[in-house]
Structure 1
Amino acid sequence: MIPNLSRRGLLLTAAATGLMGAAPGLARAADRSAILATMKRATRFMTDTVAVGDGYVWSYTPDLSRRWGELEASPTMIWVQPPGTATMGNLFLDAYHATGDEDYYASATRVADALVRGQLPSGGWNYVIDTAGEASLDRWYDTFGKNAWRMEEFQHHYPNATFDDVTTQDAANFMLRIWLEKRDARYRGPLDKAIGFVLESQYPSGGWPQRYPRVPDGGLHGNADYSGYITFNDDVSAENIKFLTFCYQSLGERRFLDPIRRAMDCFIATQQPSPQPGWAMQYEVGDLEPAGARSYEPRALATHGTAGNLDQLMDFYVLTGERKYLARVEEGIDWLEAVTLPELLWRDGKKHSTYVEIGTNEPLWVHRRGSNVANGEYYVNKDPRDIVVHTGGLRSIDVAGLRARYAELAAKTSAQASAGSALLAEPGAVALPRYFTTQARRVSDLNSGSLRATASRTSAERVDTLVAELNAEGYWPSLLASTSNPYVADSTGTVALGEFRITRVGDASDTSPWLTDFPQEGISTGVYIHNMGELIEALGPA
């Protein structure tokens, strides 16, 4: 699972909000009418041909005979996890803001209705919604889900919602936006349920679990009930803080301030003491001790998680002007520098192990044996050879960038750093971003990788290319680098011939996604969102 939205999406100062809300209107070779026509034709293909129950998955074969979210989906399923249904709703609202075309607003309301139908009684969302009902969803979990060796979060159908990969947060942000757009009463109730879910699921310490309500029978695979641990994985806390801040900005209710503050303070409380002032990805709820999660996520400190949390603490200083959030940032940066690997272990600019052993500062490496979910297992040791690739055993940590940002912020007074902060302004004084899908944003979709490859502006040449490359059917043909084995039969205890120690996928029974050397052309929801964002940017202010 990837996620990690850019931290810049959390800086809700007036200046940052302005940058996110403005389309620069760059020089363009294609005229405005050609851009609008391209956007409209691409959107009609998605809404009229691709959508199921007004929802979307991540990618499709050209004949729509196979389709995928993070796993292969059944024909009746839609994906909530970005870049899925909620992300599409946000894109339609962005297109509406850029063009004023009511067709985009109508498309957004259809997405909202699909999400309302799939919203759980708790107020949150699962990764997926099956438009054919729970029995159909149970069949999918009992076939594709349970046989996906490395996808442990999909191996059981638990009747609760997830914050993983920004799933509930993306849907909640969209429900906030669609209600604010025209104050349609249909969406206030679902929005209030989503807000209630985020507030109710927060622990007194300020952290959030991966899933809620807590599963009654012992959690997912790996460590016991890890889905109930306080988690920083996939920016769960940061994304919930962002959503609640958006609510404070737009709804004008001070009740959001205490949950936001407690959430920020949880970052301080969970930073470990010297000489290892980093963070784990999960923590026990009671004593805030580091914890493991999935069977390939050991109890350890995480270098990428530490870097992300240090960035978040600096964001919190910008949001609040309170220097307590900077107090141990430099200490954490020094630790990241200290655990840089020996040069002989560097690969492709990655100089840090993902996991560092608590107490020793030694790197931990994840391995596996077997060939599928029934006979395979993950294990951790200190041997850097033959590590599994799907967990990202090595990380690229921009220590110098963290240090430079810290120095810049530390030199500012509290008032200078927090000027224009949405948290310090009166409710309603700072507007929400006008566009949500034109920012650089990483997602778990291996076929699109990012909703924007860079945060750079769209060139005139690029606009011409987008207009020209939309095909006769109405989509941008995309090479689907990610594929999966179709479900044929359940995995067995017999280890198949072959070498599966370091691969993404096991034997033929493993339904996990994997990167193929022979990608086939197909339809990508993420590519549609990415390209539409570039065209929206090229249009300039509406």
Structure 2
Amino acid sequence: MSNTLIAVLAALMSLLPLSAVAAESDADKQEWAAWYQRSVELRRLDQRAMARELAQAGRQVPIKPVPHDKFGFDPDQPVGFYSTDAGRRVADIVLSYQTPSGGWSKRVDMSSHFRRRGEAFGLSKGYQPTFDNYATSTQMHVLARAYAATGEDKYRAAFRRALDLILDAQMPNGGWPQSYPLDGGYHNLITYNDKSQVNLLELLRPVVEASAPYDLATAEQRNRAANALIRGVQCLLITQVVIGGELTIWGAQHDPFTLAPAAARAFEPAALASQESAEILLFLMDLPQPPAAVVQAVEAAMRWFRARQLAGVRWDKLKGELVNDESAKPHWARFYDPVSQEPVFGDRDGAVYTQVSQVSLERRLGYGWYSTAPAKLEKAFTAWKQTLAQKP
């Protein structure tokens, strides 16, 4: 562990606890206004660049990119891969899909061809760019390795531009929206869904430590990243939901101002979210020398998970129901009511039910209402407690 990261965590200890309400003072309001204005500027940058491309190409409507859920390339290739022709091609195609604002869209094939003049950066008007579905963070991992392999400045410059976007996108309260420049609606909420914020924090940590291959940020960016890492962890701590005086877990999204869990799509209600909370816990348990507030957060969340695990059943995706299975891993519902802490299930019409059988067949079969994802916490928690016990 680097001295820089130790200093960051020490600063985190000194700054806790934070107020649970954002934008209370004039200074706070000015900070939020500046954050929003930066989004407007970046959106205009993207729009003007596309308008120029369309004019040059003689088109009225952008070309649609080729869809791909996982970008079309292996994001875990080692540094050495990017010294090959195949690796350079992947890195250069990734470069071609970087928005002028600095990020990338989701569900786009970035392996088959270079982005053409007038080709949209994403498949929809929203999510251009986004942090959803591992977008932007995945491409930054590629660029860091490509620069380490080749030393070509174009990869470093693109990484730095993306890092600036991430740092600009962080809310004054420490959270990140799903997309920035802002798209509106639930995309503007603090987003833990699909590991969105955790991915960004996991990326910032080696930047702060200047660990290869992430040692390509400027000194100023590293300082900003250290501050962002502190505030990002603070955000996790102040959004952990308290019910009846007890810390529980987190929502998939949180309101930026009240910090309460918030709804997203019609079938995703404002609720406690087990899958996202499990990822947050794994991140918190990976922090070295955690301050007392982090320890408290982890232990409380683990108590919550242990109290709600279901044994002897599994979620049958083909039937859209729980079935008996004594050999199955423990299961948890996807969502829990933020008051009663009982499982809840949403539908496309916005209705929220207490039984999954009440949900339409299309949504029962098309969404993972139960999950085993939190089962991996037990082993990690045991190892974490042993590590804490060894600390002086």
> Normalising to structure 2: TM-score of the pair?
0.68
Q: Is the 8 A contact 1:339 1:361 kept in 2?
A: no
1:96-143 CA-to-partner distances (Å, cap 9, x unmatched) read 6xxxxx5x2x32222222122211111000122683454x659x95xx
Cα displacement (A) at 1:212: 0.8
Cα displacement (A) at 1:240: 0.9
The residue type equivalent to 1:391 in the other structure is Y
1:78-100 CA-to-partner distances (Å, cap 9, x unmatched) read 64x63524x35x5274446xxxx
Summarize the Cα distance change of 1:327–1:346 in structure 2 as closer, same or farther, 3 Å threshold: farther
Corresponding residue of 2:352 = 380
The 5 A counterparts of 1:84-95 are: 84-85=72-73, 87=74, 91=77, 93-95=79-81
Aligned with 1:176 (options 141, 144, 147): 144
The 5 A counterparts of 1:108-507 are: 108-127=87-106, 128=108, 131-134=115-118, 137=120, 156-158=124-126, 160-215=128-183, 219=184, 225-248=185-208, 249=210, 250-251=215-216, 253=219, 254-255=222-223, 256-273=225-242, 274-275=245-246, 277-316=248-287, 318=288, 320-341=289-310, 348-367=328-347, 377=349, 379-385=351-357, 387=359, 388-396=364-372, 397-398=374-375, 400-413=378-391
Summarize the Cα distance change of 1:229–1:75 in structure 2 as closer, same or farther, 3 Å threshold: closer
Q: Is the 8 A contact 2:311 2:330 kept in 1?
A: no
Q: Is the 8 A contact 1:280 1:291 kept in 2?
A: yes
Higher relative contact order structure (alpha carbons within 8 Å, sequence separation ≥ 6): 1
Cα displacement (A) at 1:350: 4.4
The residue type equivalent to 1:412 in the other structure is Q
Q: List runs of 5+ in structure 2 lacking aligned partners.
A: 7-62, 314-321
Q: Is the 8 A contact 2:144 2:216 kept in 1?
A: no
Q: List runs of 5+ in structure 1 lacking aligned partners.
A: 1-11, 14-73, 97-101, 142-155, 220-224, 369-376, 415-542
Aligned length: 299
The residue type equivalent to 2:366 in the other structure is H
The residue type equivalent to 2:206 in the other structure is F
Q: Is the 8 A contact 2:310 2:331 kept in 1?
A: yes
The residue type equivalent to 2:370 in the other structure is L
1:205-232 CA-to-partner distances (Å, cap 9, x unmatched) read 22111111112xxx3xxxxx11111111
**Distance of 1:159 and 1:293 partners within structure 2:** 15
- Which structure has more helix as a fraction of its residues? 2
Q: Is the 8 A contact 1:302 1:354 kept in 2?
A: yes
- Secondary structure of 1:162's partner? coil
Root mean square deviation, CA, Å = 3.0
The 5 A counterparts of 1:509-524 are: none
1:303-341 CA-to-partner distances (Å, cap 9, x unmatched) read 22222222221112x2x4434321222211111122234
**Distance of 1:402 and 1:275 partners within structure 2:** 22
- Secondary structure of 2:351's partner? strand
Summarize the Cα distance change of 1:292–1:183 in structure 2 as closer, same or farther, 3 Å threshold: same
- Secondary structure of 2:357's partner? coil
The residue type equivalent to 2:240 in the other structure is Q
Summarize the Cα distance change of 1:137–1:190 in structure 2 as closer, same or farther, 3 Å threshold: closer
Corresponding residue of 2:26 = none
Summarize the Cα distance change of 1:112–1:330 in structure 2 as closer, same or farther, 3 Å threshold: same
**Distance of 1:76 and 1:236 partners within structure 2:** 23
Cα displacement (A) at 1:410: 3.1
**Distance of 1:261 and 1:175 partners within structure 2:** 25
Aligned with 2:66 (options 58, 64, 77): 77
**Distance of 1:94 and 1:298 partners within structure 2:** 44
Summarize the Cα distance change of 1:389–1:411 in structure 2 as closer, same or farther, 3 Å threshold: farther
Summarize the Cα distance change of 1:164–1:185 in structure 2 as closer, same or farther, 3 Å threshold: same
Summarize the Cα distance change of 1:270–1:179 in structure 2 as closer, same or farther, 3 Å threshold: same
Summarize the Cα distance change of 1:264–1:166 in structure 2 as closer, same or farther, 3 Å threshold: same
**Distance of 1:261 and 1:309 partners within structure 2:** 15
Summarize the Cα distance change of 1:298–1:403 in structure 2 as closer, same or farther, 3 Å threshold: same
- Secondary structure of 2:365's partner? coil
% same residue: 25
Summarize the Cα distance change of 1:181–1:365 in structure 2 as closer, same or farther, 3 Å threshold: same
Cα displacement (A) at 1:165: 1.5
The residue type equivalent to 2:231 in the other structure is R
Corresponding residue of 1:510 = none
Q: Is the 8 A contact 1:330 1:406 kept in 2?
A: no
Cα displacement (A) at 1:268: 0.9
Q: Is the 8 A contact 1:123 1:193 kept in 2?
A: yes
